Amino acid sequence: MDQELLLWVRGAGLQIATAVFVLGMSYRMLHLLMLGRKKSLAAARGSEWAGGLRTMWRRSFVLPELSPRGRFTVVSGYLFHIGFFVTFFFLSQHIALLRAVLGFGWPALPRGVIDIAAVLSLAAMIALLAHRLVDPVKRLLSDFQDYLTWTLSFLPLLTGFMLLREIGFEYVTLLTLHIASVELLLVAAPFTKLAHMFSTFIARWYSGAANGFKGIDA
């Protein structure tokens, strides 16, 4: 693959993708919030904000007792998300890029840790996909978007890992593929269920606020 394509992908391409992501996601979240809700006229027993913030935080950690299939989903889900975030935020190359954009950076994690995180994340994703195909509940719920977003999330991890290890293709090709796959993810995120990366916290706030209003510690 030629250098020119790489230049476009890492230059204008990345800028366009980032702009679509930022503008699209802002629009999606604002559009959602602007639907509003009726303020309850009932007498409050507790605080909406306290409940909302508590659930935003706590729902990441506190889950009810789970069945074996539920445990599988939760463990794989954690592994995938943590692995994804660790590789995204703590690989030295990523930090360098973010430093160029943001003007500040943070210490990177050693390559060995990143490798482990990436492999665990990839393995968890494959396990989750397999589970989606065989588990009767997930199979019933799943639609095209579930598989599309799985693919869009899997490709950056896969190409990134191949790039670090220089597996399969030459460096320029792998770098081009990696950045392009990230761009696809960025462009699709605001318009697919990948938007849950932000809307989850809004959902948790509303849910927690409703409980907080009633004075329920949940």
Partner 1 sequence: MSTSLQRGIASFIGQIDAPMASFFTSCVHCGLCADACLFYTETQDPKYTPIHKLEPLRRVWQQEYTFWGKLMKKAGLSKPVTDEELAEWEPLVYDSCTLCGRCSLACPVGNDIVYMVRKMREGMVASGHAPEGLKGATQRAVELGSPMGVNINTLRAQIKHAEKETGLTVPLDVEGADYMLVLSSAEVADYPEVISAVTRIFQQAGVSWTIASDGFEGTNSGIQIGSSDLAAELLGRIVRAAERLKVKYVISPECGHAYTALRWEGPNLIGRPYPFEVVHIIELLDQLRSEGRLKTEGMDETRMTFHDPCQMVRRGGVVEQPRNLMHMVAPNFVEMPDAGVQNWCCGGGGGVSANHRAEPVRLQVFSRKKAQLDAIDVKTIVTSCSNCRTMLMDGLEHNHMPHEVVGLTELVAAHLADDKGGNTP
User: What is the contact surface with partner 1 in residues (CB under 8 A)?
Assistant: 28, 31-38, 40-43, 45-46, 55-56, 59-60, 63-67, 69-70, 73-74, 77, 132, 135-143, 146, 191-193, 195-196, 199-208, 210-211, 214-218
Distance CA(146)–CA(143), nearest Å, equals 6
Distance CA(179)–CA(167), nearest Å, equals 16
Q: How far is the CB of 132 from partner 1 (least distance, A)?
A: 8
Q: How far is the CB of 197 from partner 1 (least distance, A)?
A: 9
Nearest C-alpha neighbor of 210 from the set 90, 15, 44, 94: 44
Residues 6+ apart with CB under 8 A from 57: none
Cβ atoms of 211 and 51 closer than 8 Å: yes
Nearer to partner 1, 10 or 214 (CB): 214
Q: How far is the CB of 148 from partner 1 (least distance, A)?
A: 11
Nearer to partner 1, 8 or 72 (CB): 72
Nearer to partner 1, 161 or 201 (CB): 201
Distance CA(210)–CA(206), nearest Å, equals 6
Q: How far is the CB of 1 from partner 1 (least distance, A)?
A: 31
